[in-house]
Structure 1
Amino acid sequence: MKNSAWAVLAAVLWMAMPAGGDPGDERILLAKDAARGGDRGRLAQLAPPTGHVLDLYPEYWALSNMLARPNDVDYARIRDFLQRYPGSWPAEKLRADWLRFMGKRGDFGPFVAEFDKLEQPEQDLKCYYSQARLASGDPDVLAEVRPLWFSLVDTPEACVPVLQALVREAMVSPDEMWGRVRRLMEAKRVTGARAVASWLPADQQPGPADLDKAAANPSTWLDRMPINFSASRAGRELALMALARLARDDPQGAYARYLGINERLSAAERGYVLGQIGWQAATKLMPDANTWFRMAGDTPMSEDQAAWRVRAALRAGDWKAVKGAVEAMSAEQRSQPDWTYWLGRAQQALGNREAARKAFERIAGHPTFYAILADEELGRSFTLPRKARPISTEEFDQTRNAPGIQRAVALFRLDLRTEGTREWNWALRNRDDRFLLAAAQLAQQLGIYDRAINAADKTRNEHDYSLRYLAPYRERIEPNAKSRDLDTGWVYGLMRQESRFVTAARSGVGAQGLMQIMPATGKWVAGKLGMSGYNVGWLQDPDTNVMLGTTYMRMVLEGLDNHPVLASAAYNAGPGRAKRWKDAKPLEGAIYAESIPFNETRDYVKKVMANSIVYSALLDGRAPSLKARLGTIAASDGSLSGVGSAAPGAGLDTPSAGAGSGE
């Protein structure tokens, strides 16, 4: 861009800045624009410091841009930057990018010298470090990385040589190699599965295209499978993987195919197939899922499989199977609040009251979905914790003047939210409760509500729920909620999950504003209200956004049995789906929530409902029963008509008004 054009842009950006801006702000904004465009010359002009709180950013962007040009990387310049800005987020990010650059080149000498200075290495960098240790002849590295064989699914390219070294040194057996092929095929990582299959002993390797064919068209593969398929390990494994792939689309059909060949499979192989069929059936909420899981016996299962085994048993009302499924989980998974709660419920249903009490006690006392439910099973309602003592002026000033906090605040002022959020989160790492509470208070005062919640949410011993569960815009939200006969705590609970009260929030699928309304849904609701001239820009206006969002909440609530659990699911995933997830019999609300097939929506509904209890305690002075609010989900009537089929963006196959961008 020519200098005159840059001057025009600087003037426009400067005029658009809010009051209180720094005289050097325009340089930072121009440097950011140059970085986006890859204009190295302009970045070089803008990089020299001027005393601005964000001085390191133009230089950081220039060095990052340099790393993208592999033939022009100056290690000395990078080292100099890292030495001048130790402990900063840009230094951490630049060091990580530099390490990645060196790892790809196999430049392991300087890589090793820098790796230990990185605070939070990602998996690919850990694998490059393992490569460096392998190259140096470190005798311990393979034993240390062997667990990656079993845990990595999305495998960074840097990790492939490490996994190959495990095979080369016979640190994994052929059975373990086949196990990895299965896991990759289950996760739809056919290319990775093909690569691992090529490392198998020659007499066990499948044909070059066999895995692709079994994955692409499992029915055809099974139809054309040789009669003597079971004579070889590769033949049996391909049959298992084809059945597992078919189960994704048609569990009943996969089971029928399985019955045709099960006598030629070993007991372990039969258990594997039945476990796969049960898993896929459970995600489709099929009533046969629990039976198939029972038939699978004690076959090893992934964490996701194990979770769906519990969910299938819950929907079947089979408390003995719930208990067995939770107890079969790994100790780490079993200790999660979700499964601790359901184990307690199973123990309770089976008459083991003391075991149930112990399970509930392990997770009670927190403002989360299962902790609140556990408290209620113990006869206690949710109560707000004692409020932390006020932040002193000295504590507040110390936090406000922390370099990372100052940079974050400046970045938010310039509407560089991505960089501001990263700086903020980095500045809060390893901080004590007093710093976190002071940071939350500062963010609240500045109207950066999502970061206020983020900071207050991290406290461990001292808490301030008025910051953790902020209730801004009350003059807008409360009248809208009351006029539509909505529980204000539920509205706030949903909004906290949707946008964290960021008025300009925009999700990856296009949902906008405080209540994260999809443009098509906003248009539909506006039409129902008789509002003409709809423009998607309306969604950025807080008043209009709240009006449309609360109206939509009332509509889905009325269309879904006036049940807040169904309405919350509908807000995120669409009313049609919320209806489809019902059962043929009445279902406990908590079981419905736990068995929602979409991970995002399942997590969303649980958080919204738990949020609603905390907000009720804050706004009304007392908390209602979460279990009572979850209630019972009426049996499905087989109909998907109503609001779900009428609202654009809210039907069977598209997200509804909200997209859960608050996380």
Structure 2
Amino acid sequence: MQFSSFCFGLTVFVALSSQTMANSPMSPASVHTNPEAVNKPEFIPEYITAEQIQAFEEFEQLAQSGKEPAYLTKASHFLKHPLYPYAQAEYLKSTLSIDKKVVINQFIGQYSGAPFTNALQHKWLNYLAANTFHDAFIAAYAPGVSVKLDCQYLQIQIDNGHLVEQLDEQIYQVWLSQSSLPKRCDTVLDAWSDAGLMTSKRILERTKLAIKHNNPRLADYLAKQLDDQDRYLAKMWKLAIKSPRRVIQPGFWLDYSTEEFEILNHVSSKLVFANPERFNSWWSTVRSKFKQSGHVGLIDKKVAIALAVNGAPTALTKLNQIESELVDESVKQWRISAALRTGDWQQVLNTAKSMPEWLQVDPGVVFWRARAEFELHQSDWALLQLKEVAERRDYYGFLAAQFLGIDVSIRHEPLNVAQEQLQAYSEDDGFQRAITLFRYGRLLDARKEWNLLVEHYDDRALETMAYLAAEQGWHDRPIFTLSQVGYLNDIELRFPLAYEEVIVSAAKQTNMPPSLLFAVARRESSFVPDAFSSAGAAGLMQLKPSTASFVAKRRVSRNQLFQPERNVQLGAKYLARLMAKTDQNPVLTLAAYNAGIHKVERWLPNEPMTADAWIETVPYKETRNYIKAIYAYDLVYQARLGQRSTLLADLTKLAVEPEI
């Protein structure tokens, strides 16, 4: 289940650390808080009772009402409240006046980028434009608030005597949109066109943009303004995107030009993965014709990877023919995968050894090269390499350790946060707003405030704030923030025992290891309780309402899935159900949780494979990384909980059969 959040991007790191730490391995007893961080400062002691939260919400409502005297009377009671700027922004929005120009501009400048200023800035600029306060508008203007306001600014500049040529790039960037523009832009664009700056090549770029984003009405409107050659290209773009199979039919291509190769390169991914053998057959007949107009190696690479994903016998040969400058992580992955599919350790060894020099240090390449060497010769070199890999705190490190029958190397180095740093950053206005919003349950604005902190502070400050957030029970911020700043060694902060009571209870009810439920929640949502994905999955364990309803045998709404206890209970039951469907195979269970049981059934091997090898053959990168991450996270949480689980035991011995 691919997680995304509505206010931040989520990057999930399969690697728990990029290198070995000097500290001793972490055991449950040795996981500790940095002793320098004792006597933590008390902060935000007020404003957290239900009565105080209600009082502030009523104050905000008063600010929104526009009742100026009543608001100003009450304001004195809330001046020191961390969220006072939110109420002040509402008050200024509800009482806009040119007489408040200085106050409003200063407020927006002081809190630039904060969640509460965006709506105020938008309303303020619209007010100034509507009332023809042009000088005030120019002074207050900031690009990107809205397209309509951008065009208003450009029109005022033209009216003030600026040449359209001077504004060319600004107008072009506003105009180059996949969507239709507001009427406010018409006069600006007319002047731009009259100056000869709306060229056919530029119109073609916007036409392509509209086609790619499925806006045929705009694309057709723009195409009418193109010259003959560009109109023909626009028609080809439209046909190719609407029905990619057209591109391999006779007569589609006119002259195999650079412009036509761009079309092919854009649509070929969808086409080649739909039927790699058919596309490869067609490509072999036209490749030479495109050779002078485009980098045909780009298409060769797609064909080779698609064949590998499909398990074609010719895949490894094709992959080895890819131009060296195009070899990347995906090529490496599918070369290893294709070699493993053969079941021939010599082929695996040869493939690993043939990787470019820069990939020879890749942990996956090192592991599989050493593993193949060990299977073939049981050499001391292979054993030494596997022991070195086993020192890593990541998927391949853990895999190597379990293969060798030694303890995995989980190492913990707590953040070194001094008392004065805790005190200083706990008093930061932006930090206090973020924490208070979190405590009030206003999670979206809380995360937006946190993102501003990330933009404005250095890594050391953010480490301190991450620690403070964890102390307040805001566990997802340290996970994201420490990954962003590159500090991966505080295992307590990066793998918190969040929602412990809920998760342990669900584990007991379903006979699932609590470490696995922690690992799934950590990977799925990073413990963001209101997380939801573009696919409709919601909550800690990212369940779709349809899946949750099926498991619960009654309707479950998305809002119910935002309740941690309900979400984890259903997620644990769903995992248990998948375990039963996959014949108690945990690797297939995790793959099914991520991609669906029917896809997993299609991915099963023709011959039995060990689980570690099968994982490398999974077609979806997201699912491969998902399984690897859960495997690693589960071992970390076993250490954190002081519990052993054999569910995700040695993947080098666990079998994946052709049928389940």
TM-score (norm. length: structure 1) = 0.63
Report what 2:431 is aligned to.
405
Provide the C-alpha distance between the structure 1 equivalents of 2:126 and 2:645, rounded to a whole number of angstroms: 50
Deviation at 1:61, TM superposition (A): 5.9
Report what 1:583 is aligned to.
605
Deviation at 1:21, TM superposition (A): 2.4
Deviation at 1:350, TM superposition (A): 7.6
Query: Match for 2:242: what amino acid?
Result: A
Report what 2:237 is aligned to.
211
Deviation at 1:290, TM superposition (A): 3.6
Deviation at 1:630, TM superposition (A): 6.8
Report what 1:314 is aligned to.
336
Q: How big is each residue's C-alpha offset from its partner over 1:510-553, in whole Å with a ceiling of 9 and x where there is no partner?
A: 444443333333333234xxxxx665476555544433322221
Provide the C-alpha distance between the structure 1 equivalents of 2:211 and 2:311, rounded to a whole number of angstroms: 19
Deviation at 1:612, TM superposition (A): 0.9
After TM superposition, the structure 1 = structure 2 runs for residues 344-383 of structure 1, keeping only pairs within 5 Å, are: 344-345=366-367, 347-348=369-370, 367-370=393-396, 372-373=398-399, 381-383=408-410
Q: Call closer, same or farther: CA 1:553–1:298 in 2, change over 3 Å.
A: same
After TM superposition, the structure 1 = structure 2 runs for residues 82-97 of structure 1, keeping only pairs within 5 Å, are: 82-85=108-111
1:342 is the counterpart of 2:371:
no
After TM superposition, the structure 1 = structure 2 runs for residues 172-321 of structure 1, keeping only pairs within 5 Å, are: 206-225=232-251, 229=254, 246-262=271-287, 264-266=289-291, 271-282=297-308, 288-295=314-321, 297-298=322-323, 301=326, 306-317=328-339, 319=348
Name the SS for the 1:448 alignment partner: coil
1:478 is the counterpart of 2:504:
yes
Query: Match for 1:53: what amino acid?
Result: P
Deviation at 1:419, TM superposition (A): 0.5
Provide the C-alpha distance between the structure 2 equivalents of 1:44 and 1:323, rounded to a whole number of angstroms: 76
412, 416, 422: which is aligned to 1:385?
412
Query: Match for 2:631: what amino acid?
Result: M
Provide the C-alpha distance between the structure 1 equivalents of 2:177 and 2:396, rounded to a whole number of angstroms: 29
Provide the C-alpha distance between the structure 1 equivalents of 2:500 and 2:400, rounded to a whole number of angstroms: 31
Q: How big is each residue's C-alpha offset from its partner over 1:41-63, in whole Å with a ceiling of 9 and x where there is no partner?
A: 68999699541321222444678
Q: How big is each residue's C-alpha offset from its partner over 1:422-457, in whole Å with a ceiling of 9 and x where there is no partner?
A: 213433556578755654554445443323544565
1:21 is the counterpart of 2:52:
yes
528, 531, 541: which is aligned to 1:515?
541
Name the SS for the 1:580 alignment partner: helix
Deviation at 1:482, TM superposition (A): 4.3
May I ask how many residue pairs the two structures share in their alignment? 565
Deviation at 1:347, TM superposition (A): 4.8
Q: How big is each residue's C-alpha offset from its partner over 1:383-427, in whole Å with a ceiling of 9 and x where there is no partner?
A: 2324456864x5544333221221112212332211011213433
Q: Call closer, same or farther: CA 1:243–1:404 in 2, change over 3 Å.
A: closer
Provide the C-alpha distance between the structure 1 equivalents of 2:224 and 2:652, rounded to a whole number of angstroms: 51
1:612 is the counterpart of 2:637:
no
Name the SS for the 1:606 alignment partner: helix
Q: Call closer, same or farther: CA 1:79–1:567 in 2, change over 3 Å.
A: same
Query: Match for 2:282: what amino acid?
Result: R
Name the SS for the 1:628 alignment partner: coil
Q: Call closer, same or farther: CA 1:266–1:457 in 2, change over 3 Å.
A: closer
Query: Match for 2:409: what amino acid?
Result: F
Mark the structure with the bigger radius of gyration: 2
Q: How big is each residue's C-alpha offset from its partner over 1:100-138, in whole Å with a ceiling of 9 and x where there is no partner?
A: 999xxxx9x99999999x9xxxxxx9xx9xxxxx99999
- Give the number of the structure with larger relative contact order, counting CA–CA contacts within 8 Å between residues 6 or more apart: 2
Report what 1:526 is aligned to.
552
56, 60, 65: which is aligned to 2:85?
56
Contact 1:384 1:617 in 2 (8 A): no
Contact 2:349 2:372 in 1 (8 A): yes
Deviation at 1:207, TM superposition (A): 3.9
Q: Call closer, same or farther: CA 1:46–1:136 in 2, change over 3 Å.
A: farther
Provide the C-alpha distance between the structure 2 equivalents of 1:433 and 1:241, rounded to a whole number of angstroms: 39
Contact 2:348 2:368 in 1 (8 A): yes
Deviation at 1:245, TM superposition (A): 5.4
Name the SS for the 2:507 alignment partner: helix
Query: Match for 2:590: what amino acid?
Result: S
Name the SS for the 1:209 alignment partner: helix
5+ residue gaps, structure 1, are 1-16, 35-39, 119-124, 129-133, 142-151, 162-167, 528-532, 640-663
Name the SS for the 2:52 alignment partner: coil
Q: Call closer, same or farther: CA 1:185–1:455 in 2, change over 3 Å.
A: closer
Query: Match for 2:56: what amino acid?
Result: D
Question: Over the residues paired in the alignment, what is the CA RMSD in angstroms?
Answer: 6.3
Provide the C-alpha distance between the structure 2 equivalents of 1:73 and 1:572, rounded to a whole number of angstroms: 57
560, 570, 575: which is aligned to 1:553?
575
Query: Match for 1:559: what amino acid?
Result: K
Query: Match for 1:573: what amino acid?
Result: A
Q: Call closer, same or farther: CA 1:288–1:216 in 2, change over 3 Å.
A: farther
Report what 2:26 is aligned to.
none
Provide the C-alpha distance between the structure 1 equivalents of 2:104 and 2:479, rounded to a whole number of angstroms: 35
Name the SS for the 2:512 alignment partner: coil
Q: Call closer, same or farther: CA 1:408–1:495 in 2, change over 3 Å.
A: same
Query: Match for 1:55: what amino acid?
Result: Y
1:30 is the counterpart of 2:61:
yes
Provide the C-alpha distance between the structure 2 equivalents of 1:287 and 1:29, rounded to a whole number of angstroms: 67
Provide the C-alpha distance between the structure 2 equivalents of 1:358 and 1:477, rounded to a whole number of angstroms: 39
Query: Match for 1:342: what amino acid?
Result: G
Q: Call closer, same or farther: CA 1:290–1:63 in 2, change over 3 Å.
A: farther
Query: Match for 1:488: what amino acid?
Result: P
Contact 1:556 1:567 in 2 (8 A): yes
Q: How big is each residue's C-alpha offset from its partner over 1:24-57, in whole Å with a ceiling of 9 and x where there is no partner?
A: 512465389x6xxxxx968999699541321222
Deviation at 1:570, TM superposition (A): 1.7
